[in-house]
Structure 1
């Protein structure tokens, strides 16, 4: 039975005030999640979860504490608030905590324009199972595939409401629909696997199960009989499937919390060239039908479009209120809030300028090097940007794909290599991180 989320948050705030809090904010989240897995044409696993979680943060002077629960009884919320206040009184003082000033709060937003919620009826378990079966059957029908590791379909819907004693109150709903498949070819030490999948807000936008299954199978077959390239320094082309990880490392380094701690290899790079000239890295929390779109952040601040990097030059950090106060800057509306835990800076939808050439053009231009399609592990020094990851993909000779490779380690320095990136034009524009394939110089490969 759905709960009145605005009423729950107001009840939490009232309980916090009654327990002695100077200020407080509260979040209530209810949701439904349904997932179906099939194997060998038969139902393997089915899971449905429904629940409501509430979270409370109280402030007493410059001390704070946070608690969460799924017990919605009034007596339980009163006990929760009293314990949270008791915890806050014992917490160390933090000069940077505090709610937003009322003048900073988001006032108007257009949820309809964001298109975060699909009103199409929730799919039945039978419908999801049929989609997973179709993906599995499509992958299995490709000659050379020996088994399907998994074929899955899922649906989710969440309602979120935030309120605070500074007067903010607001909420929104978001849905998701997904299909995925993992195919296997070969056996024993010669076994290879790969995957494909799709996740959308609107069910009508989802790729067909047949497309996903067939793609997973073909990707797997392309990886058969891999070799190791020779050790050396080569250009590396990060396929669009994995290129967003490079931008993810960059985003971690401009997170205001990390910068304020001095634990970032970009901590002194404001106003400096960090990407090649001509490239912008844009954050747009108002992009329609995008998973990371938000009408306001977890502290009730308005979200807005901004250029994080403009013409290759770093323009700003990603800031919640606390980080902005520590750094003496204006907040950017990037505070993220869950039911449990506090506020942390987080990015919304990201897009990197796309290039003028296709991925095939970049393969031709790179001559000899590595095309990376999957990666494992990660060793990154947060202070220096030194970077090392395991990788697999394809070796390129004379501008053409020669053979599959695996068991390769790629290493370099993020600050150096990001200045060399050359983007293709193949980014999927519906993702929350729109990043094309990226050709990068300055990496060392450890192979044979």
Structure 2
């Protein structure tokens, strides 16, 4: 394994020698293992190890980003020279620049955040066994014709950041995952569905048998689907897909979209965008959070904050450049790839849960649609007009009657968000904690 700290310092020194006024470095190395099972036997096994390092250089108000995997001194020097040459030809951007030393995070590691499983990489046989158990559990359910996917995986990464403004920090991540896709029926009557789990710690993973069995039950429940009636009905987004609805809200309050004028919430700061009882909070310091981090990609401190407080939009999500452009304080939300400059992102969001269960919301719906999967989308970011293909279950008299497919649900996101009614079934371990969401009066196009 490479010494990421030493390589980062070497690349930063090379950038200075090449003529950069300022520079920052992100170095990453990691390992991933994946196992696929079919028919109880190993179908595919993959293992990958990799090292990459990214460099951003600044010449006045010009910048350029490059990345590579050559850890030799000559390779680092060539990378720095190429980045400086590119920056000389880049257009000026008045908003770019590193953080001031006084803005930098005092936290430089992930101590206490539990982002890495100290148990380390599992034995491939253990991954295979988990996938086999999930597949067997799915096939044991009567009516399941086959399992198209049963896979287990593990990944870990080590990340180091270094900048000419004095910042230096790093952290490690790990991830465990298990997925199963079951198929019910044959030919044109074939239906499929899935279940999966992903955690930082192996000890937190759900049982493989539960994952396989739930995938099978979901596939069986989809058999006999037909198009629903066209009209205006309440739509309940199942917890599995409800996060996508909040995802459109997150995108609309992203500072880059606001700065471009391509957000339906660009003028909504200080206005109500959710029901008064709902808040959307961010906590990048949540222990065992899938998107937790000790600092952002520009070395700024991260902290819990309310994006929406009691229905009101309190602030946009910005990195340094976007904050300067909008004339607001940075929020510590810079994310960055190895070959791209920082951009705003969010970490570990939670929507205020409701007091009712999903079943209680179904009982109150009367007649409407429970959505369990979404396909395609036509979203106008400027107006919030929304249209998506959907499948799920038809509700009549507050009870699930039959599965549905081949329908479209439509509305306007501003109206939809203001009308949300949440259930209380959000997964507590999810990075985006969003429960099932009921939206009244959406337009359904079916039969």
What TM-score bracket applies, with the shorter chain setting the length? over 0.9
Separation in structure 2 between the aligned mates of residue 404 and residue 108 of structure 1, nearest angstrom? 50
Separation in structure 1 between the aligned mates of residue 252 and residue 246 of structure 2, nearest angstrom? 10
Q: Which residue of 2 is the match for residue 258 of structure 1? A: 257
Asked if 2 retains the 8 angstrom alpha-carbon contact of 1:416 and 1:442, the reply is no
Q: Which residue of 1 is the match for residue 245 of structure 2? A: 246
Q: Which residue of 2 is the match for residue 214 of structure 1? A: 213
Any unmatched runs of 5+ in structure 1? none
Q: Which residue of 2 is the match for residue 308 of structure 1? A: 307
Aligned residue-pair number: 447
Q: Which residue of 2 is the match for residue 198 of structure 1? A: 197
More divergent stretch after superposition (102-111 vs 371-380) = 102-111
Tell me the CA shift for residue 3 of structure 1.
1.3
Q: Which residue of 2 is the match for residue 72 of structure 1? A: 71
Separation in structure 1 between the aligned mates of residue 158 and residue 108 of structure 2, nearest angstrom? 16
Tell me the CA shift for residue 121 of structure 1.
3.2
Q: Secondary structure at the match of 2:6?
A: helix
Tell me the CA shift for residue 108 of structure 1.
2.5
Separation in structure 2 between the aligned mates of residue 47 and residue 191 of structure 1, nearest angstrom? 30
Asked if 1 retains the 8 angstrom alpha-carbon contact of 2:107 and 2:295, the reply is no
Asked if 1 retains the 8 angstrom alpha-carbon contact of 2:21 and 2:58, the reply is yes
* Per-residue CA distance 1:213-243 (angstroms, 9 max, x = gap): 0000000000000011110010000000000
Tell me the CA shift for residue 110 of structure 1.
6.2
Q: Secondary structure at the match of 2:193?
A: strand
- Root-mean-square deviation (CA), in Å? 0.8
Q: Which residue of 1 is the match for residue 435 of structure 2? A: 436
* Per-residue CA distance 1:329-378 (angstroms, 9 max, x = gap): 00000000121211110000000000000000000011100000011111
- Pairing 1:268–2:267 present: yes
Q: Secondary structure at the match of 2:240?
A: coil
Separation in structure 1 between the aligned mates of residue 211 and residue 9 of structure 2, nearest angstrom? 44
Q: Which residue of 1 is the match for residue 94 of structure 2? A: 95
Q: Secondary structure at the match of 2:137?
A: helix
Separation in structure 2 between the aligned mates of residue 342 and residue 43 of structure 1, nearest angstrom? 41
User: Residues 138-153 of structure 1 correspond to what in structure 2 (within 5 A)?
Assistant: 138-153=137-152
Separation in structure 1 between the aligned mates of residue 329 and residue 351 of structure 2, nearest angstrom? 24
* Per-residue CA distance 1:86-127 (angstroms, 9 max, x = gap): 000000000000000000000135623211010013111111
* Per-residue CA distance 1:166-217 (angstroms, 9 max, x = gap): 0000000010001000000111111100000000000000001101000000
* Per-residue CA distance 1:405-447 (angstroms, 9 max, x = gap): 0111101111111000000000001000000000012310000
Normalising by the residue count of structure 2, what TM-score does the alignment of the two structures yield?
Answer: 0.99
* Per-residue CA distance 1:288-307 (angstroms, 9 max, x = gap): 10110010000000001000
Separation in structure 2 between the aligned mates of residue 442 and residue 109 of structure 1, nearest angstrom? 49
Asked if 1 retains the 8 angstrom alpha-carbon contact of 2:306 and 2:314, the reply is yes
* Per-residue CA distance 1:14-65 (angstroms, 9 max, x = gap): 0000000000000000000000101111111111100110000000000000
Q: Secondary structure at the match of 1:156?
A: strand
Separation in structure 2 between the aligned mates of residue 223 and residue 42 of structure 1, nearest angstrom? 28
Separation in structure 2 between the aligned mates of residue 46 and residue 70 of structure 1, nearest angstrom? 24
User: Residues 235-384 of structure 1 correspond to what in structure 2 (within 5 A)?
Assistant: 235-384=234-383
Asked if 1 retains the 8 angstrom alpha-carbon contact of 2:379 and 2:386, the reply is yes
Separation in structure 2 between the aligned mates of residue 385 and residue 86 of structure 1, nearest angstrom? 41
Separation in structure 2 between the aligned mates of residue 167 and residue 109 of structure 1, nearest angstrom? 12
Q: Secondary structure at the match of 2:96?
A: coil
Q: Which residue of 2 is the match for residue 170 of structure 1? A: 169
Normalising by the residue count of structure 1, what TM-score does the alignment of the two structures yield?
Answer: 0.99
Any unmatched runs of 5+ in structure 2? none
Asked if 1 retains the 8 angstrom alpha-carbon contact of 2:109 and 2:169, the reply is no
Q: Secondary structure at the match of 1:354?
A: coil
Separation in structure 2 between the aligned mates of residue 153 and residue 83 of structure 1, nearest angstrom? 40
- Pairing 1:397–2:420 present: no
Tell me the CA shift for residue 284 of structure 1.
0.3
Tell me the CA shift for residue 245 of structure 1.
0.3
Q: Which residue of 2 is the match for residue 60 of structure 1? A: 59
Question: Residues 172 and 110 (structure 1 numbering): CA distance in 2 closer, same or farther, change over 3 Å?
Answer: closer
Separation in structure 2 between the aligned mates of residue 223 and residue 189 of structure 1, nearest angstrom? 13
Asked if 1 retains the 8 angstrom alpha-carbon contact of 2:384 and 2:413, the reply is yes
* Per-residue CA distance 1:112-171 (angstroms, 9 max, x = gap): 321101001311111111110110000000000000010000000001011100000000
